[in-house]
Structure 1
């Protein structure tokens, strides 16, 4: 294999790593250079993710005949070396992450990348950790990339000022440190039993375990499952999320909307590889389905109980995780494709919602006061400063209140799952597939339970979001028309237009995701691609 294309799987990790390192070296005063480097990094990540997506559909058969990109870091063959693997699922997650990252970065240029230090380097490291978690082919490096993204998220969580942000951030840090500790224990036990951490090799060896080794492996898998469920915000391990996400600055909260999906991705990836061996019940419907339903119910109760818009979105994130866990916990793969479509829609919608709510808060005097405090804390309101308030907020877009109202309406439709936006398509596909999972003509109790939970949570979303919209736009007596920068409105519009594109091309996208689900149900192709990939030096090339 020759040419730079063979290094595609490495680029989503190397690009933000190098960009983050250069941003640390550049002085804060060189703002234009720093922003140019940040945008170049994210745009290149989108390009690479798109190329990997094309590769998985057979556009590069000479490089990867099985349409699964395998990259041997250090040129050591599996299972001895570090392996990066890009299949359809990983490529979809990479593209989703990079689009969300672009929108958040655009939004941050209005103010947040200056309201503190090291925002841009930490942002790049967060993207690096997310990309690495989607691409890694072994459990230890999954833990490493988890720690990279979490370490960056700790700094971004505390970015800005405010006592509530610090308090919520400390809870967030403590919870994730505990989950990481469990993850490390589970990985150590698995290595002690099987002698490998390569996921493909693990899928082979796990099915051969018997007796005490088998029981110890299942215990380790259960510990891993708890760690992943904590990171996926499953009930009852999700108490930290509404406050943590709600008090983070808007672009950070937007990117955080995909972080719970990393835990779900890990459960799906390991479950697809290990369940055929009959090994870990921790990754099957026996646990995922009831926990998913409980998480969905908890999120629905939360959005009805809260009055704060930021916390309401946090409970919407929990509801999306519950829906995905319940759907993926159903038997078979009939719901996996619709679940992935729902994942795309919910991440884009919730990311837009977090940024939108920050803009809507400026229409109230309280929100304006909070903004003034943040600006004053970092000298962004000094008339003599080049970063004074007018420059930060920017040129007012026409009809700001009309834009905010329409964007809120679109986000509400997406979250509640109402037509004509793709939230409706995703939930309808989920429910239709759930009712067809039974081998008989009568749907199973689990199918009816999922249908009832999804419909009731949708009703709760309609009630809560309608109430919030009325309170924000109709009943407030001291509404202040905000000055919205074009970049702020543009970032929200980018995510909403992406959702509209999903609705327009729902058929082809759903077909692609259903094929992805079928490939996950046949993990042998993944295992063969990883275990048979030869080092460059074995092919007579230069490493």
Structure 2
């Protein structure tokens, strides 16, 4: 086995080892912990990018199947790097690095174990995307959820505790359903390896298919609760709105873990050739549930008066779009949905970071700059009689010559880009992804396809109205508010996320080519099944020893 093959497990082991190291450092040494955390997170992102480049160059169903315990498939732990897994891993690494850089300015000081919890969160994300069996998917789900409980409560406060109790309760219930669903599927198929389950579904007797479908439905409820499907998403807006900015930014991709699990298992286990009633099982539920979720999220954005809750409803709308697209079982639609997944996640993460900066700007107390009481001397160019032809504002002050503070200009431009991406306005990545999906829906031509077509356009209009209203309130009607003070380490991750969204547009053809190849692999599950089940253990180098 080449040495590079072991790098497949590195994205999981790296954050686990980093978290253990920072625990040994004790409660102090926060500066050292920040350096270690940043180096580890950046390394994890680079590893994920390397895996993606290898998959793209390889062009096969899977870059590799790694057996950490060297047990034969399907009896041991399996990690699989296929196009979808590494795509999600890169997205998780990018969001994680941006949130961490933002947290270095302030939020890392609000709790003792922030850096440890952050690395455990990344470990759970990478593990959930790369694992190839249901039990370890459950384990990594629990790791990332346990870390998210601590990150949600990071910084304290009554609002976080109240929202945290709802968040923890719904996720504990989802975990219980997850475990029950896994147990039922294991009882029917006799295996927990995803590829092995998919290979055995067509062989299950008709009398046992009802039990199989019941287990799959229970499992789907657990995933859909995490993916914020309506009506299981009541917990999301208050929880994400109350969380600290870097925690909420990471949570933007936590919801996509549920979407990923649905996409992975549904296309793998219930394709058109699954046999009998198992072919496309649950597809209509995904379509109509996704449509209801998209409509709920769009209306919630329009009704939101707080920017944090608006950002939460935008996450719900994006999840509804993805779930509905998955249910159609159409490779062309899945391709556009994957592009949309990347675009909406990057924009959502940036928006959660912007929420704090914008709200902080509103909380800046007005100082003597207002000059309302007449006790301060006006600058000469304002005190003098304005020349004829000079435009004046409502206070009879000249509009020409005013400089926009750099911090306010940054917030305004960043918010505008975020709003355009989320609303799907041209020419940014949100428009490219929605256009790709709309073209695929036109080709389908069914009634549900027309509903999704209409809701994609309508939700974009609702999002544009809601975000425009927020922009007017925060930027246009606040002329006398002092400019906020921003740190470079706070603005850099937001700029990087938006630059990544712009890069998606600049490289749209290449990205769509990758998502098309990924969709083709997903909708031809035999490639994944053969890659996993065909993997063999590595012989023991000791002569005469059993492998």
2:378 maps to 1:400: no
Aligned to 2:119, which of 124, 146, 152? Answer: 124
Aligned to 1:311: 309
Residue 357 of structure 1: CA displacement? 1.1
Check 1:248–1:280 CA distance in 2 against 1; reply closer, same or farther (3 A cut). Answer: farther
Distance 2:173 2:365 in 1: 34
Does residue 416 (structure 1) correspond to residue 428 (structure 2)? The answer is no
Counterpart of 2:155?
A: 160
- In the aligned structure 2, how far is the partner of 1:253 from the partner of 1:2? 39
Structure 2 CA distance for aligned equivalents of residues 293 and 213 of structure 1:
31
Q: 8 Å contact 2:364–2:484 — kept in the other structure?
A: no
Residues 61 and 82 of structure 2 are in contact (CA less than 8 Å); yes or no, is this contact kept in structure 1? Answer: no
| 2:9 match: secondary structure | helix
Aligned residue runs from structure 1 range 332-481, under 5 A: 332-365=330-363, 399-437=406-444, 443-476=445-478, 479-481=481-483
1:111-169 CA-to-partner distances (Å, cap 9, x unmatched) read 00111110000000000001000011000110000000000000000000211111001
Say yes or no: does 1:296 pair with 2:309. Answer: no
Q: Which residue of 2 is the match for residue 325 of structure 1?
A: 323
Pairing 1:72-151 to 2, within 5 Å after superposition: 72-151=67-146
1:325-368 alpha-carbon deviations (Å, 9 max, x no partner): 11111142120110000000000000000001100001112899
- Spell out the pairing of 1:454-533 with structure 2 (5 A cutoff): 454-476=456-478, 479-533=481-535
1:238 is aligned to 2:233: yes
Question: 1:68 touches 1:526 (CA, 8 Å); kept in 2?
Answer: no
After the TM superposition, which residues 245-324 of structure 1 pair with which residues of structure 2 at under 5 Å, given as runs? 245-276=240-271, 277-278=274-275, 280=278, 284-324=282-322
Query: Structure 1 residues 191, 367: closer, same or farther in 2, change over 3 A?
Result: farther
Q: Structure 1 residue 284: deviation in Å?
A: 4.1
Is the CA contact 2:329–2:523 (under 8 Å) kept in the aligned structure 1?
A: no
Q: TM-score, normalised by structure 1?
A: 0.90
State the SS of the aligned residue for 1:70.
strand
8 A contact 2:61–2:83 mirrored in 1: no
Change (3 A) 1:71 1:540: farther
What displacement does 1:67 show? 4.0
Q: Provide Cα deviations, 1:437-467, integer angstroms capped at 9, x if missing partner.
A: 2xxxxx2212211111111111110111111
1:460-494, Cα deviation, whole Å (9 max, x unpaired): 10111111111111224763421100010001001
Mapped to 2, the partners of 1:174 and 1:367 lie a distance apart of 38
Q: Which whole-Å CA distance do the structure 2 matches of 1:449 and 1:367 have between them? A: 48
CA distance in 2, matches of 1:353, 1:538: 51
Match of residue 204, structure 1, among 185, 199, 223: 199
- Partners of 1:289 and 1:328 within 8 A in 2: yes
Mapped partners of 2:57, 2:306: distance in 1 = 47
Out of 164, 167, 171, the residue aligned to residue 176 of structure 1 is 171
For structure 1, list consecutive stretches of 5 or more residues without a partner in the other structure: 369-396, 438-442
- Residue 7 in structure 1 maps to residue 6 in structure 2: yes
Q: Secondary structure at the match of 2:78?
A: strand
Alpha carbons 2:62, 2:528 under 8 Å: kept: no
Taking the aligned partners of 2:75 and 2:87, their CA distance within structure 1 comes to 27
Deviation at 1:398, TM superposition (A): 6.5
Q: Equivalent residue of 2:469, what SS?
A: helix
CA contact (8 A) 1:365 1:478 kept: no
Question: What residue is the counterpart of 1:17 in the other structure?
Answer: 16
Q: Give the Cα separation in 1 of the matches to 2:188 and 2:541.
A: 33
CA distance in 1, matches of 2:502, 2:5: 34
TM-score by length of 2: 0.89
User: Contact between 1:110 and 1:488, CA under 8 Å: does it hold in 2?
Assistant: yes
- 2-structure distance, mates of 1:190, 1:458: 39
Aligned to 1:382: none
Q: Distance in 2 between matches of 1:315 and 1:166?
A: 20
Alignment length (residue pairs): 505
- Counterparts of 2:449 and 2:540 in 1: how far apart (Å)? 51
In structure 2, the partner of 1:50 is 49
Shift of 1:436: 0.9
Q: Deviations over 1:84-119 (max 9, x none)?
A: 111000010001100111100100000001111100
Unaligned runs of 5+ in 2: 367-403
Structure 2 distance, partners of 1:237, 1:366, is 37
**Counterparts of 2:450 and 2:540 in 1: how far apart (Å)?**
54
Contact 2:89–2:126 (Cα < 8 Å) also in 1: yes
Q: Deviations over 1:468-526 (max 9, x none)?
A: 11111122476342110001000100100000000100001101110110011111111
- Measured after TM superposition, the shift of residue 428 of structure 1 is 0.7
